Structure 1
């Protein structure tokens, strides 16, 4: 039971300064991941919960955050509004995402779709950012507000603009990466 609570509350403390809405969104997100992992017949609870999750998070709160997106521990959401994250996106631990951000795939010239971005640990993403395509954002990167990112970003780099370009190297002390809580540990 302790591991269960630890897992669903893993984002709680880092969102203490953001909003109760951010805490609620991430609590429901982590709970959806847990319920889906239950063995049958308990996993049948997921169907009504999935409907409730989509109704509240997607339709009412305007956050497109699929329940099976891979997200590391301690995700911080600022304002939690107009956020779209493709379900194939991978987000590392200790990341910050601000409102009106889109992270996802893009349509290729042949009509197919690319894979989604892989975002490293300790990445800080500003408001109104678009990150699309089969790209990698390195650890400790900072993406300025309003940026459009369509190419790989090196670790410890500050980027901004449309299209995003390197502004400077981020030589600040790297933040520690806390252990990601894996559902298999529960």
Structure 2
């Protein structure tokens, strides 16, 4: 039981400087993940919770974070409003997501869809960012506000713009809790 409670509230400590809403959304998200893995005899209860989660987080709070998203430890949400994450996205440990960000797949000219992005550990994603397609964002990358990312981003890169271009590299010896990592020019 302690392990389950620790799992549900794991994001609480990294979001205490953000808002109670961020902490609550992530606790509800982790609970929704547990509900989808619940034993078969609890399927009805899990379904009811899934609908409640969708209504509360998706419709009322404006955050689309499906329980199927693979998220590592200690996700940080800054505001979170208008956040849209594709159900097949993979997000690593100690990542930060800001408001009005979209992470999703692309539709090809033949009508098929690409896979969703894979985001590494310690990635800091700014506000109003769009990350699309079967791309990989490397560990310790920083995505600047308003960036449109449609190609892989190497580990430690700082990118911004539309389309996103590498502006520098992060000094990866900085602490994962540093709000604005030190940058070195390329």
Q: TM-score, normalised by structure 2?
A: 0.92
Deviation at 1:162, TM superposition (A): 0.4
| Count of paired positions | 176
User: Following the alignment from structure 1 to structure 2, what is the Cα–Cα distance between the partners of residues 169 and 80?
Assistant: 26
Structure 1 gaps of 5+ residues are 177-186
Aligned to 2:152: 152
Deviation at 1:109, TM superposition (A): 1.2
Aligned to 2:92: 92
Aligned to 1:180: none
Q: Is 1:55 aligned to 2:55, yes or no?
A: yes
Contact between 2:89 and 2:117, CA under 8 Å: does it hold in 1?
A: yes
Give me the CA root mean square deviation. Answer: 1.0
Aligned to 1:112: 112
Aligned to 2:184: none
User: Following the alignment from structure 2 to structure 1, what is the Cα–Cα distance between the partners of residues 18 and 54?
Assistant: 22
Contact between 2:140 and 2:172, CA under 8 Å: does it hold in 1?
A: no
Write out the 4+ residue segments of structure 1 that deviate beyond 2 Å after TM superposition.
Answer: none
Contact between 1:37 and 1:43, CA under 8 Å: does it hold in 2?
A: no
User: Following the alignment from structure 2 to structure 1, what is the Cα–Cα distance between the partners of residues 13 and 89?
Assistant: 23
Contact between 2:136 and 2:152, CA under 8 Å: does it hold in 1?
A: yes
Contact between 1:78 and 1:97, CA under 8 Å: does it hold in 2?
A: yes
Aligned to 1:142: 142
Deviation at 1:175, TM superposition (A): 4.3
Deviation at 1:126, TM superposition (A): 0.2
The superposition leaves residues 1-56 of structure 1 with CA deviations (integer Å, 9 ceiling, x where unpaired) of 11011100110000000001101110100001112212121232111101100100
Aligned to 1:124: 124
User: Following the alignment from structure 2 to structure 1, what is the Cα–Cα distance between the partners of residues 65 and 37?
Assistant: 18
Q: TM-score, normalised by structure 1?
A: 0.92
Q: Which has the higher contact order (CA 8 A, sep 6+)?
A: 1
User: Following the alignment from structure 1 to structure 2, what is the Cα–Cα distance between the partners of residues 157 and 46?
Assistant: 40
Structure 2 gaps of 5+ residues are 177-186
Deviation at 1:116, TM superposition (A): 0.5
Q: Report the 3-state secondary structure (helix = DSSP H, G, I; strand = E; otherwise coil) of the residue aligned with 2:106.
A: coil
Q: Is 1:24 aligned to 2:20, yes or no?
A: no
